[in-house]
Structure 1
């Protein structure tokens, strides 16, 4: 008010002080009261010279404002010198001399001491002027210290003329700014960037070439992460662009270096929903590359707490971000030691929702189904998946999803059925999964998809309801026959294992005679041992039909192979399996069948196996030799 009404008086504070000073010779209470009334009342400044004349004072000529400074901006070296040589020493003394907010100033004193030490360390490097991050840090630091200097002067007055609450707020703001400056400075010092010339490549963010040394890569990565934490939005964006280019050039090689030398927590923090959308999208892409590139970087991403933010992005991010988040989640959950954490973050519902039709892109559905497959091996999560309605969603994917979605859905059903109890298997069958899997097995052209579908059917076939349905389907056994004849080794074994869980009739067994030669070959394979077992079990079942025994005995190549497996010198094949097949073949197979086995040399091998007490060898030998003696006496009687 005074400055508005009487600018010619307030422009000279000494004159004003002289006017209101009680010790001034011209001061008297009535005149002072009259002045205060005028001061408190807006009026024209033209009347104020009359008041001065009544008081016996001469009007003062208003002081002109100082001309604007024409001095050039201070150089970084000058700013650093000003801070180290003038501001910090004064502030350190003032922080111990204040009369108000003593506790806050003691804390500020410790931060100022740390700042002085850190700045001195930075100034000792001859290369600091070439580091733009450090140079850009100096002006705001200078502003913060000048603000603290002003606040220290206010705190020296115990009466706190500006008000206690306002001063307290100003102190907290300045202290927070100082803490941020200390964080940025500490980051630069720990990274070692201040002690390197720009020619090293990291300071100016030139992407290292394929032949770059590890030292150059480490320096580049440290500079990138420094910019992610210190720079502006534009600088962060450029740093993330460079990081993505670096990782994309050779993910398996460079991802471990980034994980070891970069500040991953700072990258994970950029996934927060409050972060700038452009920065968040770029950070999601970088985290996804790290999670999918190598075991080392994937483990580091998980340990820094990225799974929770990634699940949130999958639930509410843009389409591109959701795809990247889904890829990272699938890679993280592929490690069983990480899969349990999905439940802790409430991720089961999110993953199921991502698999639903229309919830996102086909890629998201496939990746989310892969994540569900990964976590379905954990008991608690498996129960949660069943309760949250995962089974119907997975069944829909079996036919309506992409090939990748179908394969992951089939594997997830297999995992639920094989590791879950009978209740889960029964619920899967009730939801119609069995029929969908059979259709996928029949229509899929991808061998891997067929194998996954068959594995799921095998897991379900242990359920009585599923076994009954499959046993009454001749078309399904035709598929099994074809898979045993033409499938890969793994597919052949799984198909044979499915047959072992079923109870087909003789007509079905007759229709499967064409795969017996393939089963004999499976019996020859030394690895895995389970393949020999299921092949033997299927052969024994099929040889229960007389026509199948005759057909196999006519196959000289198969009989020769079977007998060679009886040879004790053939140590690659467990002897109990071919012995059980020979026993089934010799039982009621007719004279011609036993004669062919004998001519192939089975008796001598069976005798040695019987001496070694191999299960079934003695009985098989009796079957063959006994029939030969019976035939001999019969021929003698007729003669």
Structure 2
């Protein structure tokens, strides 16, 4: 940055008024840092000085060359020199504490601040005059600082960009915004320092309302990055970022709407900010975006997904949840499930799941709108839905139908169990795991469903998962089987296949190190000992020794199994095998 500043000095050499003004401003900025009294006043003055310096540094070479001969510019530069001289005198007095009174010094500093502010306005008006920036692409541009740049170098660079935000024509503003987005996306130091500079955030807010689409879009990119910092979300909300973001949702470009929803997603991750979005009409705007995905084309899946994501954040507040429901979110979500766009389908199912969570009344509304039927239809193997959509459907149905026997019966009538069984047998790994979770949930609902699952043929499919590679799959399968064999007729079904018993006994081998899942497997074996056929199969298995070893190692469940096997007419069969 030192070389860049010297380049500027070289460019202005020979332009006496411009050189004098920039030198005086630079010296005064340095002096201001050493002043300890009236710190807030001097900070405001320093900010104006830095703004003036940035404007002067952005002047095109031909304007710099004519600084002494251009009457309007020369007059402003002369006034700046006179005011900086006066300000320098006040600064020296503050350093030396030689001023006559605090009130008088504060008044003098206020007058100086007003003058510097007027120079900023005058130069801005002058810069924007017709023809002045016709060759703006040739204006001096401060080079981006390197990776090891100091804080002062970064601040100087950002100040220069701020100047271009304020005084540049459209193309200059866009280029400055692009440069700004590059640095804040790559190095968070630029975000922190930019947030410390007066005016940066307010200019970005102004750009959000710009009629120039590219300016608006680049500003949205900036805000999206800044929203990613938890400490700055409240700052943005406090200065009114929500209102222009909602306006973009209502009338911006497709990219603008996408960027706006990304910003709102980040802002509403903090529940304290959701009220602001609702108060500015955000719910209606978001639902309107979702509605656009219900047409035959079924486009805009990413935008609709983002809109649904913001709505999910909003409905974390019960009052807003009720409003979202009143505005028609439920029938709209069900329509989106039927749409042709996978992204819209998945987002809608996620929204339904959150709407249904912990609210019996809303669950009832979803069911009355045909939610169960539509979600089960997603699971139909003959349908064209993706595996990911089917996984989301299973999760939504589990939330929707839990704790209601009536809803569970609807699930059964619509063929939910048949679809789950199909995917346990034929699905890809990911959907098999989801189907396994759904089967586990079903097995925990009632004896009626446990009997129905046994009748439908779930047991052979679940047994296949007992020696799966995934420990979680093995564990879920074992727990599900344990619940199923609590029903006597499922015990008989389990032992009809002799290999099922052999597999159980094999998996509890003390040498294999399956201790993490062994307790559940032993509980299954215990249940089978209450069935005559089960006891026979266990006693005739070549892996009975594994239970004996565990019993000898004082594993309580194994000892209980041996006692059950030893009872009544089976006692004599194993008397020579094990003694209690």
TM-score (normalizing by structure 1): 0.61
Distance in 1 (CA, whole Å) between partners of 2:141 and 2:555 is 79
> 1:257 matched to which residue of 2?
190
Distance in 1 (CA, whole Å) between partners of 2:50 and 2:466 is 77
Query: Is 1:460 equivalent to 2:395 in the alignment?
Result: no
Shift in Å at residue 600 of structure 1?
3.0
Q: For 2:377, which of 434, 439, 442 is the aligned residue?
A: 439
> 2:545 matched to which residue of 1?
601
Distance in 2 (CA, whole Å) between partners of 1:542 and 1:449 is 33
Retained in 1: the 8 A contact 2:506–2:546?
A: no
Deviations 1:324-367 (A, max 9, x none): 21233234445666556533544223222221136984432222
Deviations 1:67-100 (A, max 9, x none): xxxxxxxx96437869999xxxxxxxxxxxxxxx
Distance in 1 (CA, whole Å) between partners of 2:155 and 2:140 is 12
Distance in 1 (CA, whole Å) between partners of 2:238 and 2:384 is 39
What are the equivalent positions in structure 2 for 1:159-198 lying under 5 Å apart? 180-181=117-118
Retained in 2: the 8 A contact 1:536–1:578?
A: no
Distance 1:363 1:128, change over 3 A: closer
Distance in 1 (CA, whole Å) between partners of 2:492 and 2:73 is 94
Q: For 2:288, which of 331, 353, 372 is the aligned residue?
A: 353
Shift in Å at residue 257 of structure 1?
3.1
Retained in 2: the 8 A contact 1:586–1:593?
A: no
> 1:550 matched to which residue of 2?
495
> 1:476 matched to which residue of 2?
416
Retained in 2: the 8 A contact 1:429–1:465?
A: no
Q: For 1:422, which of 360, 363, 367 is the aligned residue?
A: 360
Shift in Å at residue 534 of structure 1?
4.6
Distance 1:388 1:130, change over 3 A: closer
Retained in 2: the 8 A contact 1:355–1:393?
A: yes
Shift in Å at residue 267 of structure 1?
4.6
Retained in 2: the 8 A contact 1:519–1:535?
A: no
Deviations 1:501-520 (A, max 9, x none): 36437464232233122342
> 2:389 matched to which residue of 1?
449
- More relative contact order in 1 or in 2 (CA 8 Å, sep 6+)? 2
Query: Is 1:520 equivalent to 2:466 in the alignment?
Result: yes
How many residues are treated as equivalent by the alignment? Answer: 479
Q: For 2:175, which of 222, 233, 238 is the aligned residue?
A: 238
Distance 1:271 1:464, change over 3 A: farther
What are the equivalent positions in structure 2 for 1:70-109 lying under 5 Å apart? 77-78=16-17
Retained in 1: the 8 A contact 2:394–2:438?
A: yes
Distance in 2 (CA, whole Å) between partners of 1:574 and 1:297 is 51
> 1:320 matched to which residue of 2?
255
Q: For 1:624, which of 549, 556, 565 is the aligned residue?
A: 565
What are the equivalent positions in structure 2 for 1:262-341 lying under 5 Å apart? 264-273=200-209, 276-288=212-224, 291=227, 305-334=240-269, 339=274, 341=276
Retained in 1: the 8 A contact 2:290–2:304?
A: yes
Retained in 1: the 8 A contact 2:321–2:355?
A: yes
Distance 1:214 1:399, change over 3 A: farther
Distance in 2 (CA, whole Å) between partners of 1:470 and 1:592 is 38
> 1:54 matched to which residue of 2?
none
Shift in Å at residue 242 of structure 1?
3.2
Query: Is 1:383 equivalent to 2:316 in the alignment?
Result: no
What are the equivalent positions in structure 2 for 1:484-503 lying under 5 Å apart? 484-485=424-425, 486=427, 487-488=429-430, 490-500=433-443, 501=445, 503=448
Shift in Å at residue 395 of structure 1?
0.9
Shift in Å at residue 436 of structure 1?
1.6
Shift in Å at residue 455 of structure 1?
0.7
Distance 1:380 1:632, change over 3 A: same
Retained in 1: the 8 A contact 2:337–2:374?
A: yes
> 1:3 matched to which residue of 2?
none
Shift in Å at residue 421 of structure 1?
1.9
Distance 1:453 1:526, change over 3 A: same
Distance in 2 (CA, whole Å) between partners of 1:365 and 1:119 is 42
Unaligned ranges ≥5, structure 1: 1-74, 86-109, 150-173, 188-200, 634-639
Distance 1:286 1:490, change over 3 A: farther
Residue 270 of structure 1 aligns to a residue whose secondary structure is helix
Distance 1:255 1:324, change over 3 A: farther
Residue 132 of structure 1 aligns to a residue whose secondary structure is coil
Q: For 2:311, which of 362, 372, 388 is the aligned residue?
A: 372
Distance in 2 (CA, whole Å) between partners of 1:329 and 1:497 is 37
Deviations 1:535-569 (A, max 9, x none): 355543577425522245423663235434x8997
> 1:22 matched to which residue of 2?
none
Q: For 1:132, which of 59, 64, 80 is the aligned residue?
A: 59
Distance in 2 (CA, whole Å) between partners of 1:339 and 1:526 is 40
Residue 365 of structure 1 aligns to a residue whose secondary structure is helix
Distance 1:130 1:256, change over 3 A: closer
Distance in 2 (CA, whole Å) between partners of 1:313 and 1:624 is 74
Distance in 2 (CA, whole Å) between partners of 1:309 and 1:116 is 28
Residue 449 of structure 2 aligns to a residue whose secondary structure is coil
Distance in 2 (CA, whole Å) between partners of 1:311 and 1:218 is 31
Distance in 1 (CA, whole Å) between partners of 2:19 and 2:47 is 8
Residue 367 of structure 2 aligns to a residue whose secondary structure is helix
Q: Provide the aligned C-alpha RMSD in A.
A: 5.0
Retained in 2: the 8 A contact 1:314–1:350?
A: yes
> 1:588 matched to which residue of 2?
531
